[in-house]
Each structure stands twice: as C-alpha cells, then as structure tokens.
Chain A
Amino acid sequence: MNLLKLSWKYLTHRPLTTGLNVFLLSLGLAIITVLLLVQDQFEKKMTQDAEGIDLVVGAKGSPLQLILSSVYHVDFPTGNIPMEEAIRLSRSRLVKQTIPLALGDNFQGYRIVGTNHDYLTLYQAVFSEGEAWNEPFEVVLGAVVAEKSGFKVGDSFSGSHGISEGSHDHDEHAFRVVGILEPKGNVLDRLVLTSIESVWFTHDESETKDESSENESDHHEKFHQEVAKTGFPESDQEREVTSLLVQYRSPMAAVQLPRMINSNTSMQAASPSFEISRLFELLGVGVKILEGLAYVLIIISGLGIFIALYNSLKERRYDLAVLRAIGASRFQLLLLILMEGLALTFLGSILGILLGHVFLAALASQNETGVGAGLEAWIFLPAELWIVIYALGVGLVGSLLPAWSAYRTSIADQLMKK
C-alpha cells in the first residue's frame, strides 16, 4: 500500500461523486479538444487547398461564396462568366497563369469539376492508377471518391445535375474513369475531375435532348476530339465557365488586378487568404461561445472537486486522525488529498481528450462531402498536453483548501472524541 493507492481507493469508494466530477471535467475538456483540433486542421487544410491560388475570378456575388465554391468546393457557385471575358483576363500581363473551372454537376454528392491538367499540377496530383483525361467524358477520381464508389479505371457512371445529391441524372452520356488519384488529404480527394468540354457537353445534351436534330456524325466527332490540356478549350459557340483560378505574375498584380476586375468587368475577384481570414473572424464568435461554455464546465467541475473533497473530509476526519496515529505525517495527509484531486482531474483530462477525438471522428463520418469532410480525428496535438496540465491545475486549486484542512487535522482532538 502507498499513498497513491490509498487516494485511489478513496476515489473508487465513492464512485458516483467521482464519476460525476470526472464526467463534468471531461465534457469541458472535450469541447476544448474539439475546438483545438478543428481549428488546427481547418486552418491547415484551408491554407493547403488555397496554396498557389492568388485570386479567384467568377460571377458577381458573395466573394466568400466564390472562394468556398471554387477553391474548397463546399458552397454553391455564384454563377457563370462568359469564357471570352475570362480569356481576355488570362492574357493580362499581370497574370501568370489561369486555370478555368466549370462546376455544376455531382456524382453521389462528390463534385464534378471541369478543368484542365494545370489543375492537377497545381495540387501536385499523383496517379495511383491510370492517367489524366484526354477526351470528353473521361474522368479522374479523387482517392476518397474512388474508395467510396469502388470504381476502377474503365468503369462508367453518370453524374447528376447540381452540386448536391438528389437532382436529376444526366444519364445520356456516361463518364468513363481513366485515372484515380492517390490520397493527399487535400480537396482533390473528394472531387471528380474532367475536362471543361465534358461539363459543357453534358449540359448541351440535356438541353437538346428533345430536338434530336443534331447530326449524329457531327456528334460523334465532337465527343472524340482531344480536349484542351491547358488554357481554355476551343469552341465555336459562346461558352461559359464558372470561375478562374489566377496566379499573379508580380506582387503589383495584387494591387491592380482585383480592382480592375471588380470595376471594369462583369466579373468579381476574390482573394482566398482574405476571405478565409474573414470566415474565421465570422466563425470566431461561435468558437468564443463554445470556448466560454467549456471554461464554465471546467470551473464547475473544479468546484465539484472542491466540494466533493471537502465533504468527504468531514466524513474522513477520523480516518485522517487514524492515519496520523499509525505514523502518517501532516504532509502525507496533505499529499493524500492533493493526489485525490489530481487523480480525479487526470482521469477527467484523459477521458476528455478521448471524448473530443471520438466526437470529431463522429462528426467527420457524419459529414462526408461537406465542410467537416477529411477532418482527421486521431491526430494528437502537442496542445493537448496543455489540456492535461491545465486540468491538473484545476485539480490542484480545487483540492488545495481541503488538503490544507487535512494537513491541520489534530489527532488528539479527533481520536479522543467519543
């Protein structure tokens, strides 16, 4: 037997009080853990996915929405822009590179993105199977999409209209899988990538379906032409794209280009880094409230620990006196009570951190194509160590007064009370 064992025995001797305090504390700490993890991963993911994109140009509307839809593929696109205007912009001397995106369809909730091979290069995509698209209706699947759908190279499927699940299907012309990407933990994992032509033709089909006036051979020819690997696809019609991802040629562009686009064209320009920091600012209020709630829970549990120890002390006056009688020093009694408080909070913090991770795992699995997707629940941060230290601090403060009172137990008074 030693003091640690004894304090543990006392804790388990009143399982309900101990359990309640551990639970309260762990709830507070779980919230903090989740906030920590989400904040860390969100910021990382957000920065990672926006790397190499200086500016996003799209239809006028909410700039944040434009960024969310074109960079992170979570919100709805703001609309389309005429390709002609996009091409004109791409020729500007301020622009180093543009990548056009055509959005609008999905496959089982995973977005189908029409783009060119530069998009793959931007994210340094690596193929685990197959290769990039060459013809219309050839697609490359992100790792997660491939895993969830079970598709291999050579399989076909048809997309649905709209960017979320449940709209009508484009079953006139099926997509054929030609490549599958390796998982990288970025936004590509959850995308279906194809050429802009594929997206156009899918929608041409649905519009001209009833007329069936189109020349069959012309049709056939069109569908087997090579698509544009870089830059904009060629077209004899007036075409639209959803947005452009722009890389500046020089720092000067950051000053001039957005203003130029916003005032002189029908398009709008939005900077990912600016919009994301704005988003975090907006979310900040909610995070603050949650944080506050967590701290309230932790303070309550600290109080709970204090009250539990203090009450148990009343019942244990005699026990403490007996311990002194059989040779325990005052300091050992102080340690005994402190250790109870610390053991309680240590348990609470371990449970809280686990709970936080489990909660995040549940959140991530509930939300496969949305914002919560790709959150890694089982990454442990160094900051979590601080949670443990913080909790132990709470335990120490909560048990200080009871421990002091134990320290001052007078054996003579207690033992001789009849």
Chain B
Amino acid sequence: MLFHTKDLQFAHPGQSDYHFPDIALDAGESLLVLGKSGSGKTTLLNLIAGLLAPKSGTVVLDGVEVNALQGVKADRFRGENIGFVFQKPHLLAPLSVKENLQMARYFSKKKGLGLESLLEELSLTSKANSSVSSLSEGEAQRVSIARALINRPRLILADEPTSSLDDENAHKVIDLLQKQAEKIEAALIIVTHDQRVKDQISNFIQVQPS
C-alpha cells in the first residue's frame, strides 16, 4: 500500500468535528474526493498534504507518517513526495516556464524527472523560455502539472483542477494527470465537485459534513 489514511478527524475551532472516510491507494491508482463546497474536502486535502494537523488519525505515504513530520523535514518531504495541482495554475510570474520548474526542483534534493523530456511530453518544449504571462490558460495548467510532476512525487494532489476549464480541456487535464501518475507510479487524488470527472475516474469517496 503506497498511501493510506486511518480514522482522520479534524476540528475547526468552534465547529463540530469532521470524520473522514479512510483512503487506501496503490501506486498508479486514482481517487476522486467528491463533496459540496463546505463539506470539508479541502480540509481533507490539507490533512493529506500535512498542511494541517489532524485531531486524530494518521496519514501514511510511502511508509512515512506524514502528519508526524515537522518543520523543515515536513517541507522537504512535501517538496519531494507530493505534487500539487491547484484550481488555477499559480505559476511564479517573474520566472519563465523552465525556471518555474527549476524552482520546484531547487527545494528538493531528490533526482526528479528530466526537465526537457517532461516539457516535451506535455508539449511545452517551444514554451520553455517563454514568460509565464504569455501562456494560454491550457498551457499554464500544463506547466503547473509539470511542476507537480518534476520531482517524481509519490502522491499527486489536485484541487479542483477542472473547475475553470471547458469540457474538452477538463477531459484532457484529467487524462494527463492520470497517465502521468501511472507513469511515475504515483497515487493521484483529485478533490472536486465537478461531476464531469466521474466519467474518467470511477473510484471515489464522498465527503459530507457530519
């Protein structure tokens, strides 16, 4: 088992506790986390990434208990083993496409994927030295996926990656994420309320406020 959570609970101050269903994923497997807004699915994502500390329960990635890591160790672990894809690309505006990827590599000491081949795979080679602001929305999203992949993470977390895309692009992005995750043998978790994604990934859990 590459990744699993157990009895995750989280308490927002002054609110009732969230209880999250357990997750178990093998390398190359994908999972959808569905739920309405406010259902706590973003909180779950933060817990999985180790950005929030749970009230109880454990998150284990590749044999490491993520929520037990602290400080610089947690940061390093996150940079090396978890790739983030956000709703918007959120690339660093002063940097070129290539530099954005190199930046991600800088924070990790792990040998990642080849930059050139990754760019080629995502058909970004011609944009390697372009300024980030000159990219189309689709291109920018692909760069952010490349950034998530560059350190060869064991887990890819995607937060509403399709919500601002049309049907065609949404399909492409999910497809790309799935294929790449399989290729680098990472687990893929997509948090979304976008029902279109269900057509591509059948494995899902539903998060509800308890």
Contact = CB atoms under 8 A, between A and B. Distances in A.
Interface of A: 1-3, 6, 9-10, 12-13, 318-319, 322-332, 411-412, 415-416, 418
Interface residues of B, number: 33
6 shortest interchain CB distances as A-B pairs: A327-B79, A327-B107, A13-B94, A9-B94, A1-B102, A412-B51
Nearest to A411: B51
Nearest to B51: A412
Contacts of B92: 6, 9, 319, 322-323
A10 B94 CA distance: 6
Interface stretch (B82-90, B119-127, B182-190, B202-210): B82-90
B75 A13 contact: no
Nearest to A322: B90
B64 interface: no
Contacts of B14: none
Contact of B99 (A1, A331, A411, A412): A1
Contacts of A3: 106
B104 A327 contact: yes
A15 B151 CA distance: 32
Given A325-B78, A326-B147, A329-B72, A1 B159 contact: no
A377 B93 CA distance: 42
Nearest to A321: B90
B132 to A, nearest CB: 11
A337 B116 CA distance: 30
Contacts of A411: 51
Contact of A1 (B80, B106, B151): B106
A415 B85 CA distance: 10
Nearest to B109: A327
Nearest to A319: B92
A12 B99 CA distance: 15
Given A329-B72, A415-B159, A2 B106 contact: yes
B108 interface: yes
Given A10-B94, A412-B46, A331 B103 contact: no
Interface string B58-82: 0000000000000110011011100
Contacts of A322: 84, 86, 90, 92
A326 B105 CA distance: 8
B45 interface: yes
Contacts of A319: 90, 92-93
A327 B76 contact: yes
Contact of B95 (A2, A9, A324, A327): A9
A329 B147 CA distance: 17
A1 B103 contact: yes
Nearest to B49: A325
Contacts of B94: 6, 9-10, 12-13
A329 B160 CA distance: 25
Given A322-B92, A411-B51, A415-B159, A328 B107 contact: yes
B135 interface: no
Contacts of A412: 46, 51-52
B158 to A, nearest CB: 12
Nearest to B90: A322
